[in-house]
Amino acid sequence: KQEVTQIPAALSVPEGENLVLNCSFTDSAIYNLQWFRQDPGKGLTSLLLIQSSQREQTSGRLNASLDKSSGRSTLYIAASQPGDSATYLCAVRRYDRGSTLGRLYFGRGTQLTVWP
Protein backbone atom coordinates (compact mmCIF):
# COMPACT_ATOMS: atom_id res chain seq x y z
CA LYS A 1 0.00 0.00 0.00
CA GLN A 2 1.22 3.46 -0.85
CA GLU A 3 2.02 5.83 2.04
CA VAL A 4 2.50 9.54 1.39
CA THR A 5 4.20 11.76 3.96
CA GLN A 6 4.52 15.53 3.92
CA ILE A 7 7.03 17.53 5.90
CA PRO A 8 6.72 19.92 7.60
CA ALA A 9 3.16 19.61 8.89
CA ALA A 10 3.00 23.37 9.39
CA LEU A 11 5.11 26.32 8.30
CA SER A 12 4.86 30.01 9.22
CA VAL A 13 7.02 32.51 7.35
CA PRO A 14 7.19 36.23 6.62
CA GLU A 15 6.16 37.51 3.24
CA GLY A 16 8.81 37.35 0.54
CA GLU A 17 10.54 34.16 1.61
CA ASN A 18 11.24 31.30 -0.78
CA LEU A 19 9.77 28.03 0.50
CA VAL A 20 10.26 24.32 -0.02
CA LEU A 21 7.53 21.83 0.86
CA ASN A 22 8.44 18.15 0.89
CA CYS A 23 6.51 15.05 -0.08
CA SER A 24 7.73 11.45 0.10
CA PHE A 25 6.06 8.23 -0.98
CA THR A 26 6.90 4.65 -0.19
CA ASP A 27 6.32 2.94 -3.54
CA SER A 28 8.07 4.41 -6.57
CA ALA A 29 5.72 2.65 -9.03
CA ILE A 30 3.61 5.74 -9.53
CA TYR A 31 1.87 7.04 -12.64
CA ASN A 32 2.03 10.73 -11.75
CA LEU A 33 2.10 13.14 -8.81
CA GLN A 34 -0.20 16.08 -8.28
CA TRP A 35 0.12 19.07 -5.93
CA PHE A 36 -3.03 20.72 -4.62
CA ARG A 37 -3.92 23.73 -2.55
CA GLN A 38 -6.79 23.55 -0.06
CA ASP A 39 -8.26 26.65 1.56
CA PRO A 40 -10.24 26.24 4.81
CA GLY A 41 -13.67 24.72 4.15
CA LYS A 42 -13.01 24.57 0.43
CA GLY A 43 -12.17 21.98 -2.17
CA LEU A 44 -8.81 21.13 -3.65
CA THR A 45 -7.31 23.34 -6.33
CA SER A 46 -4.90 21.58 -8.66
CA LEU A 47 -1.56 23.39 -8.85
CA LEU A 48 0.80 21.14 -10.77
CA LEU A 49 0.85 17.64 -12.23
CA ILE A 50 4.11 15.81 -12.89
CA GLN A 51 4.05 12.64 -14.96
CA SER A 52 6.32 9.82 -13.79
CA SER A 53 8.62 10.38 -16.77
CA GLN A 54 9.11 14.07 -15.95
CA ARG A 55 11.51 15.74 -13.55
CA GLU A 56 9.74 19.03 -12.90
CA GLN A 57 6.88 21.33 -13.75
CA THR A 58 6.58 25.08 -13.35
CA SER A 59 3.62 27.42 -13.06
CA GLY A 60 4.29 31.05 -12.21
CA ARG A 61 5.99 31.20 -8.81
CA LEU A 62 5.56 27.47 -8.27
CA ASN A 63 8.00 24.76 -9.24
CA ALA A 64 7.52 21.09 -8.47
CA SER A 65 10.20 18.45 -8.88
CA LEU A 66 9.96 14.68 -8.85
CA ASP A 67 12.59 12.07 -8.07
CA LYS A 68 10.69 8.87 -8.56
CA SER A 69 13.54 6.53 -7.72
CA SER A 70 14.00 8.05 -4.27
CA GLY A 71 10.26 8.55 -3.71
CA ARG A 72 10.40 12.31 -3.29
CA SER A 73 8.83 15.46 -4.62
CA THR A 74 9.30 19.07 -3.60
CA LEU A 75 7.13 22.11 -4.17
CA TYR A 76 9.10 25.33 -4.35
CA ILE A 77 7.22 28.60 -3.81
CA ALA A 78 9.14 31.72 -4.76
CA ALA A 79 8.60 35.11 -3.13
CA SER A 80 5.76 33.95 -0.89
CA GLN A 81 2.72 36.19 -0.34
CA PRO A 82 -0.03 36.24 2.31
CA GLY A 83 -2.42 34.95 -0.34
CA ASP A 84 -0.37 31.75 -0.51
CA SER A 85 -1.58 30.83 2.98
CA ALA A 86 -3.38 27.48 2.67
CA THR A 87 -2.82 23.76 3.13
CA TYR A 88 -0.76 22.17 0.36
CA LEU A 89 -1.46 18.54 -0.43
CA CYS A 90 0.61 16.07 -2.38
CA ALA A 91 -1.05 13.07 -4.05
CA VAL A 92 0.44 10.21 -6.04
CA ARG A 93 -1.46 8.19 -8.59
CA ARG A 94 -0.75 4.50 -8.39
CA TYR A 95 -2.15 1.43 -10.07
CA ASP A 96 -2.89 -1.35 -7.64
CA ARG A 97 -3.33 -4.90 -8.88
CA GLY A 98 -6.48 -5.16 -10.99
CA SER A 99 -6.78 -1.39 -11.18
CA THR A 100 -7.69 0.23 -14.48
CA LEU A 101 -7.58 3.94 -13.67
CA GLY A 102 -5.42 3.99 -10.59
CA ARG A 103 -6.20 5.99 -7.50
CA LEU A 104 -4.76 9.03 -5.77
CA TYR A 105 -3.05 8.54 -2.43
CA PHE A 106 -2.85 11.77 -0.42
CA GLY A 107 -0.53 13.10 2.22
CA ARG A 108 -1.81 14.98 5.26
CA GLY A 109 -0.61 18.27 3.86
CA THR A 110 1.55 21.18 4.93
CA GLN A 111 -0.35 24.07 6.49
CA LEU A 112 1.36 27.25 5.28
CA THR A 113 0.92 30.68 6.85
CA VAL A 114 2.58 33.67 5.21
CA TRP A 115 2.37 36.80 7.31
CA PRO A 116 2.82 40.35 6.02
Partner 1 sequence: EPEVTQTPSHQVTQMGQEVILRCVPISNHLYFYWYRQILGQKVEFLVSFYNNEISEKSEIFDDQFSVERPDGSNFTLKIRSTKLEDSAMYFCASSGQVNQPQHFGDGTRLSIL
Closest CA to 77 of 109, 112, 108, 45: 112
Q: Report the greatest alpha carbon distance in the chain.
A: 49
CB of 60 or CB of 101, closer to partner 1: 101
Binding mask 69-108 for partner 1 (x = CB under 8 A): --------------------x-x-------xxxxxxxxxx
Name residues contacting partner 1, limited to 32-71 (CB under 8 A): 32, 34, 36, 42-46, 49, 51
Q: Which of 87, 92, 76 is nearest to 25 (CA)?
A: 92
Shortest CA distance to 8 belongs to which of 66, 74, 83?
74
Residue 3 has what DSSP assignment?
Answer: -
Binds partner 1 by CB under 8 A, chosen from 31, 54, 56, 63: 31
Footprint on this chain of partner 1 (rule: CB under 8 A): 4, 31-32, 34, 36, 42-46, 49, 51, 89, 91, 99-108
